[in-house]
Chains A and B, each alone.
Chain A
Amino acid sequence: MTRPRAGARGRAKTAVGLLLTAVMLFPVYWMLNESLTRDQDMRKSPPSFFPLHGTLEGYRAVIDQQLPYLLSSLLVGLGTVALTLALSAPAGYALAKLRPRGAGALSFVLLVAQMIPGIIMAMGFYAVFLRAGMLNTLAGLVIADSTIAVPFGVLVFTAFMAGIPDELMQAAKTDGAGSLRTFWSIVLPLSRNAIVTVSLFTFLWAWSDFVFASTLDSGGTRQPITLGIYHYIGNNNQQWNAILATAVVASVPATVLLIVAQRYVAAGVTTGAVKD
Chain B
Amino acid sequence: MDNTTQTVTRSARGRGGAPDTGAPPSARAQRRGPRKARSSQWAAWAFLAPVTIYLAVFYAYPLYKNLDLSLRDYTVMSFVHGGAPFAGFGNYRTVLHDPTFSPALLHTIVFTGACLLFQYGIGLALAVFFHQHFRLSATMRALFLVPWLLPLIVSASTWSWMLNSDSGVVNYGLHLLGIAPVDWLTSPHWSLISVIIANIWIGIPFNLVLLYSGLQAIPQGLHEAAALDGASAWQRFRRITFPLLRPVSAITLLLGLVYTLKVFDIIWIMTKGGPVDSSTTFATWSYRLGFGNLLPAFGPGAAVGNLLVVIALVFGLVYIRTQRRQAAA
Contacts and interface: CB of A to CB of B under 8 A. Distances in A.
Nearest to B204: A24
B227 interface: no
Interface in A65-112: 86-88, 90-91, 93-95, 98-101, 106, 108-112
A232 to B, nearest CB: 8
A108 B61 CA distance: 18
Contact of A17 (B52, B137, B155): B137
A174 B1 CA distance: 15
Given A127-B66, A128-B61, A154 B51 contact: yes
Interface in B169-221: 169, 172, 175, 201, 204-206, 209-210, 213-214
B310 to A, nearest CB: 10
A119 B301 CA distance: 10
Interface string B117-152: 000000000100110101111001011111111111
Contacts of A21: 140, 143-144
What's the interface size class on B, roughly?
Answer: 35 or more
Nearest to A263: B142
Contacts of B94: none
A115 B95 CA distance: 23
Contacts of B298: 123, 127
What's the interface size class on A, roughly?
Answer: 35 or more
A61 interface: no
B209 A106 contact: no
Contacts of B62: 121, 124-125, 127-128
A210 B44 contact: no
A243 B50 contact: no
A271 B84 CA distance: 44
B55 interface: yes
A91 B165 CA distance: 51
B146 A229 contact: no
B215 to A, nearest CB: 11
Question: Is chain A's interface secondary structure helix, strand, loop, or mixed overall?
Answer: helix
Given A46-B172, A210-B269, A30 B162 contact: yes
Nearest to A108: B320
Contacts of A100: 41, 44-45, 48
B50 A87 contact: yes
B26 A170 contact: yes
A59 to B, nearest CB: 15
A24 B63 contact: no
B44 A98 contact: yes
Which of B151, B261, B264 is most buried by chain A, counting CB atoms within 10 A of its CB?
B151
A150 B143 CA distance: 27
Contacts, number: 291
Contacts of A121: 59, 62-63
A100 B48 CA distance: 9
A163 to B, nearest CB: 16
A17 B129 contact: yes
Nearest to A95: B48
A275 B247 CA distance: 11
Given A127-B62, A244-B157, A207 B305 contact: no
A45 B154 contact: no
B87 interface: no
B152 A210 contact: yes
B129 A120 contact: no
Interface stretch (B2-10, B15-23, B99-107, B236-244): B2-10
B323 interface: yes
Contact of B47 (A10, A98, A118, A120): A98
A229 B166 CA distance: 22
19 contacts: A11-B134, A14-B134, A17-B130, A24-B147, A30-B169, A31-B161, A86-B50, A118-B264, A119-B283, A120-B286, A120-B306, A127-B62, A127-B298, A173-B9, A176-B5, A178-B5, A230-B153, A247-B154, A273-B252
Interface of A: 10-11, 13-14, 16-18, 20-21, 24-25, 27-28, 30-31, 34, 42-47, 86-88, 90-91, 93-95, 98-101, 106, 108-113, 115-128, 130, 143-144, 146-147, 150, 154, 166, 170, 173-176, 178-179, 183, 204, 207-208, 210-211, 214-215, 218, 226, 229-230, 233, 240, 243-244, 247, 250-251, 254-255, 257-258, 262, 265-266, 269-270, 273-275
Given A113-B59, A233-B160, A273-B252, 18 more contacts: A20-B126, A27-B147, A27-B201, A30-B158, A87-B54, A90-B50, A94-B44, A98-B40, A109-B55, A117-B308, A119-B308, A120-B308, A123-B286, A176-B3, A244-B161, A250-B153, A254-B151, A262-B142
